[in-house]
Amino acid sequence: MSEINLLHIENLSVSYRIYRGLLKVLDGVSLEVRPGEKVALVGETGCGKTTTVKSILNILPRQAIIHRGKVFFKGKDVLRASDSDLNYLRRRGVSMIFQDPTASLFPIFTVGDQISTVIRAALSEDANNTQLKESSLFETALKALRAASLPDPERILRSYPFQLSGGMRQRVCIAMALATPRELLIADEPTTNLDVTIQDQVLRLISNMVAEKNISLILITHSLGVAREIADRIYIMYAGSIIEMSQTDDLFENPLHPYSRALLNCVPKLTGEGIGQGVPGHLPDYLNPPLGCRFEPRCPKSMPICKKIKPSLKEVAKGHFVSCFLYDSLGG
């Protein structure tokens, strides 16, 4: 493990226990985030994006079984951490914005109540700041709302979530996530429920706040366009594996994996060149996933070896990793 990584996920495999057996969802996911870096994790519904980031906060549901793999945050293994280390991680280290701001805000408490809970929890981890005053709490909450460019923050502190619009609720969630100093922000599809003009505003806000505070970001999204707007580096996920990773520009100019190419081809473009044919077939059944490459049943360039062996993520050009046998001869 290199010293410079803030977060390092190493070969993580997670299954969910259900009545019919084991859903083998994550299959050897490795991911790293450096300090101050903006990383996007892109994939379609059901590919394991959310499972991956839930493991970072160790908030996987009870049915989840971690077969192997390690999650290091600042060198500490999160999956085997003590309760006090976990508290520190969740209160000072990592914060998360969820997809649906309506569901992630408590409907019967005001925004002010909810933000001050977060701030209190964070300050309780801070040994020097045990003498917490209610007045400074109010000021910190106001400052957080102002930083998220919410108009009239005093009124919003007294409002209940249902009194705010969807875009404002998501801004409140961002304000809450960044009200206290953090080192990593995880945004799980933060703009999926928002209109395109509001999406633009929220993405710009997240991007600016992350840059200003010099913290790292993991953005989870299903939209390649959103990832391109924000991220320095992109991981593409398919059926529980990382299939390609590269710098943003490199990925869009020269996508290598057949799935990345097909996905990019499907995205409707403003230039109006028509829409690609889509990807034939379905996601594999997680109860009995294919032995070899999980994309093999849908791959237009499938070879005999793909059925037997799972390709590993290899660097084929500088900083461009892909897990596909097509590029095996190029692998270093």
Partner 1 sequence: MSEILTVKGLKKYFPIVSSTFSRRQVNYIKAVDNVSFFLNEGEILGLVGESGSGKSTTAYVIVGIYSPTAGDILFKGRNINVVATKRPLEVKKEVAIVFQDPGTSLNPQHNIREILSVPLKVHKVVSKKHLNSKIEELLDIVELPKNYMYKQPRAIGGGERQMVAIARALATNPSLIVLDEPTSALDVSVQAKIINKLLDIQKEFQLSYLFITHDLSLMRNVATRIAIMYLGKINELAPAAEFFQNPLHPYTQMLISSVPVVSKAEESIKKKKIISAGEIPSSVNIPPGCGFNTRCPFKKDLCFEVDPEMVEVMPGHYVRCHLYQGMRC
Task: Please identify, using beta-carbon distances, which residue of 100 and 200 lies nearer to partner 1.
Answer: 200
Q: By CB under 8 A, tell whether 108 contacts partner 1.
A: no
Binds partner 1 (CB under 8 A): choice among 84, 131, 271, 329 = 271
Q: At 26, which helix (H) or strand (E)?
A: strand 21-33
Beta bridge partners of 14: 26, 66
Q: What ranges make up the beta strands (E) of 174-274?
A: 184-188, 216-221, 233-238, 241-247
Choose between 75 and 225: whose C-beta lies nearer to partner 1: 225
Range 192-211, binding partner 1 (CB under 8 A): 195-201, 203
* Residue list 150-189, contact with partner 1 (CB under 8 A): 165, 167-168
- For position 273 contacting partner 1 by CB under 8 A, the verdict is yes
Which of 89, 324 has the CB closer to partner 1?
324
Minimum distance, C-beta of residue 238 to partner 1, in the bound complex (Å) = 10
Beta carbon of residue 223, minimum distance to partner 1 (angstroms, whole number):
6
Q: Does 277 bind partner 1 (CB under 8 A)?
A: yes
If you write DSSP's letter for every residue of 37-96 in order, what string do you get? -EEEEE--TTSSHHHHHHHHTT---TTEEEEEEEEEETTEEGGG--HHHHHHIIIIIEEE
Q: Which stretch binds partner 1 (CB under 8 A): 15-23, 81-89, 177-185, 264-272?
A: 264-272
As given in the structure block, the two tokens for residue 198 are 């509001």
Token output for 269:
């473009």
The residues binding partner 1 (CB under 8 A) are 44-45, 165, 167-168, 195-201, 203, 222-226, 228-229, 252, 262-279, 282
